């Protein structure tokens, strides 16, 4: 870049000036970093220090700056210079806080600092200032799919925040499952009795809200576009098709009850055996009076069977707890006791779970005479005009039985998520290299639902990717509500098992996240977790081999193909994880501020001592979301680790291109540590599939090492959580000792 002017700033605050030779660092930045301007300051993040940098930008024409101070995760507001390219040399957390303050350690500590200065200077010169997303969308209308409690709450909360809402409901009325309830579980103190289902009030609020447009008897025929510029085609039964411009979407499509006909041993399908929805219908018909069976007989004894087809370790039925069923059975038992205290009401459970109300609701039911017994039901059989429930009493450890006029099965919830796109793709995936793991995790094709909900115009499939058990995919730790389709959020029981109170809270959160997505899209910014990042991927198409690795591996469906079958990036869908960059075998994909070159330049900038110095060099490529923060927090706790490591944060393990490892080993590094998030069912990767895809790619590095006649132990892949603050330094030190044991790289000096 002809008009590039570089500057490096050396901070001496936070004990940096006492622990490091600042003059030597200035020399490194000037002579080896070849920076046009190098300055030092006693306290760089102070008002005066920041003003110094701003003055150089405004009056000296500086375009690229290297800030040599604390971690890039610290002082982000002070060192926010959006008009120039910025790199950070981590001298505080990355050097002096992880090294002992002794004369013996001073030399290696200084060497660490000098390398980080070299790396920051090299990185910034390989960067350009992100120009922003040219394909911004300014639509600020939220679409909510599903008109139950979750959907209505999301619509109302978005409207209260000042946004237009389009609410689409497939049936002829709003309310969903909640409208079918006689009463609902109490949501407020004192948690003594069931309360009104609240649906009529929510519907009245929506009908009176000018910001909310409602489509009833409606389905979605097609959803295309991206955050801020979705186009949604809505088909109304016996009516015209409508097209709406949408900024973001909340899917609140709820659940279906598990089919009790799959539970014949518990009486499923028999007369006088109902699920919880069936009992609600009977209670609504009774309207506070005696509850009667379908044959008209008044119920004098009732048994509730908890976990019916749930928490099933065999995998034949639901493996999870649906969350609301215990409270729902307590509520329904009160229907009987409130109409007639003399009705025999028994709840058979293995574990009683009453989230949200402590034990108040449970105690209230006990006080009304509801009997709770810990037992496992083995069989429900007809007995004259009633039923016999056979069960094992877990307290007395004996087989027993009881009679009942009616049995209620707590069958649990199955998310109404639409098509499982991974299961549909499974046959093709089995034939494609690298897709076998995804295929094995998918459901058999015979079990795939064929009716789509969103009908997404994505090459990956028409609905949201599903997490285990069919719930819409969401990062369960860091990013609730968020799915693998940017700008589309999940709320309520379609996202995870929950009760009404939790669904209301969930819908509010999803609406707020959707609003954030619309606002970011309008500004051309990335979505979570790199919210605000203006960079986006580009490709040198003249070098592209059309291998389609990037389009297949993108976790978020952000890459399509143009008419010539080259990758076509949809910037508003992109979350800037860099998985496409790591996947590209010819290295033609890059971001302005993060590329094969920015990381490669840092790797090559490190000074590699010869083998006689007995100072190995170990490269750490650390996920910026978990591993790098863990390193910083270890430093804050003053946990020491080897002076021979050089850490480079990467956006995700999925962004790691194998050329970085090859370059490092060829340059004489003695080892490489790859630090990424946990993957699999309990994944912690902020980009969902990034670490998994990266690990699959990196599993083949062993072949490269063997071809170079290097030991496979020289590359170590580690799962690191953000909580590994104490153990991570120990693992680094153990690996450094292992490298000393193996011996130095034979490539030193080449």
141: tokens are 């209308």
**What's the average model confidence in pLDDT over 161-171?**
98
Rounded distance between C-alpha atoms, residue 20 and residue 546, angstroms: 49
Quick check: 442 pLDDT over 70? Answer: no
Residues 240 and 265 in one domain: no
Is omega for the bond preceding 211 within 30 degrees of 0, making it cis? no
Alpha helices in 370-522 (DSSP H): 421-431, 436-441, 500-522
Residues 281 and 377 in one domain: yes
Q: What is the CATH number of the domain that holds 116?
A: 3.40.50
pLDDT tens figures, 664-716: 999 999 999 999 999 887 888 999 889 999 999 888 888 888 888 899 999 99
Residue 600 lies in a domain: no
Rounded distance between C-alpha atoms, residue 345 and residue 302, angstroms: 5
Rounded distance between C-alpha atoms, residue 203 and residue 400, angstroms: 47
Residues 614 and 733 in one domain: yes
Residues 14 and 121 in one domain: yes
CA 113 vs CA 442, 646, 671: distances in Å: 48, 10, 19
Answer with the one of 95, 129, 163 that is the final residue of a domain.
129
E strands, 26-84, in order: 37-41, 64-69
Residue 601 lies in a domain: no
Q: What is the CATH number of the domain that holds 381?
A: 3.50.50.60
Structural domain tally of the chain?
4
For residue 631, give its domain range.
608-750
Query: In this predicted structure, what is the pLDDT of residue 46?
Result: 97
Residues 632 and 724 in one domain: yes
Residue 549 lies in a domain: no
Residues 328 and 182 in one domain: no
Residue 438 lies in a domain: no
Residue 441 lies in a domain: no
pLDDT tens figures, 196-246: 999 999 999 999 999 999 999 999 999 999 999 999 999 999 888 999 999
Rounded distance between C-alpha atoms, residue 69 and residue 61, angstroms: 22
Look at residue 284 and give its three-state secondary structure.
Answer: helix
Answer with the one of 393, 413, 433 that is the final residue of a domain.
413
Strand partners, 349: 374
Query: In this predicted structure, what is the pLDDT of residue 355?
Result: 87
Percent of the chain surpassing pLDDT 90? 83
Residue 551 lies in a domain: no
Nearest to 186 by CA among 360, 424, 380: 360
pLDDT tens figures, 621-676: 999 999 999 999 999 999 999 999 999 999 999 999 999 999 999 999 999 999 99
Residues 648 and 744 in one domain: yes
Residues 689 and 676 in one domain: yes
């Amino acid at each position: 870049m002809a008009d590039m002017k570089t500057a490096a700033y050396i901070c001496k605050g936070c004990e940096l000036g006492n622990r490091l030779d600042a003059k030597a660092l200035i020399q490194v930045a000037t002579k080896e970093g070849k920076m046009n301007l190098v300055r030092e300051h006693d306290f760089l993040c102070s008002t005066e220090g920041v003003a110094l940098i701003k003055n150089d930008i405004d009056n000296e024409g500086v375009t690229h700056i290297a800030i040599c101070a604390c971690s890039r995760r610290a002082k982000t507001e002070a060192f926010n210079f959006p008009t120039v390219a910025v790199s950070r040399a981590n001298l505080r957390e990355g050097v002096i806080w992880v090294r002992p303050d002794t004369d013996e350690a001073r030399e290696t500590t200084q060497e660490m600092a000098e390398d980080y200065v070299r790396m920051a200077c090299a990185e910034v010169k390989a960067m350009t200032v992100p120009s922003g997303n040219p394909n911004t969308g300014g639509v600020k209308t939220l679409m909510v799919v599903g008109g139950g409690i979750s959907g209505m709450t999301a619509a109302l909360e978005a409207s209260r925040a000042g946004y237009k809402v389009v609410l689409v409901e497939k049936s002829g009325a709003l309310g969903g499952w909640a409208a079918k309830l006689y009463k609902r579980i109490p949501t407020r103190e004192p948690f003594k009795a069931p309360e009104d289902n609240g649906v009529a009030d929510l519907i009245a609020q929506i009908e009176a809200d000018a910001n909310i447009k409602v489509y009833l008897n409606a389905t979605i025929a097609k959803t295309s576009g991206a955050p801020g510029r979705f186009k949604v085609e809505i088909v109304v039964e016996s009516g015209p098709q409508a097209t709406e411009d949408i900024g973001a979407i909340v899917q609140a499509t709820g659940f279906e009850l598990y089919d009790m006909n799959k539970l014949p041993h518990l009486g499923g399908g028999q007369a006088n055996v109902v699920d919880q929805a069936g009992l609600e219908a009977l209670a609504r018909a009774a309207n506070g009076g005696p509850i009667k069976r379908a044959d008209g007989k008044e119920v004098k004894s009732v048994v509730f069977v908890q976990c019916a087809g749930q928490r099933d370790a065999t995998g034949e039925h639901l493996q999870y707890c649906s969350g609301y069923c215990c409270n729902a059975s307590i509520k329904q038992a009160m229907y009987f006791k409130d109409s007639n205290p003399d009705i025999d009401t028994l709840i058979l459970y293995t574990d009683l779970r009453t989230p949200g109300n402590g034990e108040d609701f449970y105690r209230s039911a006990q006080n009304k005479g509801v009997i709770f017994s810990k037992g496992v039901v083995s069989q429900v059989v007809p007995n004259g005009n009633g039923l016999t429930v056979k069960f094992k009493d877990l307290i007395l450890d004996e087989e027993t039985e009881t009679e009942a006029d009616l049995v209620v099965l707590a069958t649990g919830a199955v998310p109404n998520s639409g098509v499982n796109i991974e299961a549909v793709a499974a046959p093709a995936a089995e034939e494609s290299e690298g897709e076998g793991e995804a295929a094995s995790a998918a459901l058999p094709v015979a079990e795939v639902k064929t009716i789509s909900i969103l009908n997404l115009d994505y090459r990956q499939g028409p609905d949201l990717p599903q997490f285990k058990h069919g719930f819409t995919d969401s990062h369960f730790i860091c990013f609730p509500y968020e799915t693998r389709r940017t700008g589309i959020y999940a709320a309520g029981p379609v996202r995870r098992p929950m009760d009404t109170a939790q669904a209301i809270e969930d819908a509010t959160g999803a609406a707020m996240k959707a609003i954030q997505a619309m606002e970011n899209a309008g500004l051309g910014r990335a979505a979570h977790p790199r919210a605000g990042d203006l960079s986006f991927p580009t490709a040198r198409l003249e070098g592209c081999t059309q291998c389609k690795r990037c389009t297949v591996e993108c976790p978020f469906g952000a890459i399509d193909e143009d008419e010539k079958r080259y990758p076509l990036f949809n910037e508003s869908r992109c979350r800037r994880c860099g998985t496409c960059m790591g996947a590209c075998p010819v290295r033609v994909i890059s971001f302005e501020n993060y590329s094969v070159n920015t990381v490669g330049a840092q790797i090559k900038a490190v000074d590699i001592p010869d083998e006689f110095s007995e100072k190995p060099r170990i490269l750490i490529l650390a996920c910026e979301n978990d591993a790098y923060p863990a390193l910083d927090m270890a430093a804050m706790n003053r946990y020491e680790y080897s002076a021979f490591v050089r850490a480079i944060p990467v956006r995700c393990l999925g962004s790691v291109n194998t050329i970085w490892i090859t370059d490092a080993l060829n340059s004489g590094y003695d080892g490489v540590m790859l630090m990424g998030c946990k993957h699999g069912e309990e994944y912690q990767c902020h980009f969902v599939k990034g670490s998994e895809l990266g690990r699959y790619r990196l599993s083949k590095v062993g072949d490269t090492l063997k071809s170079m006649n290097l030991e496979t132990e020289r590359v170590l892949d580690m799962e690191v959580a953000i909580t590994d603050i104490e153990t991570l330094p120990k693992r680094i030190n153990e690996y450094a000792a292992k490298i000393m044991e193996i011996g130095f790289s034979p490539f030193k000096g080449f």
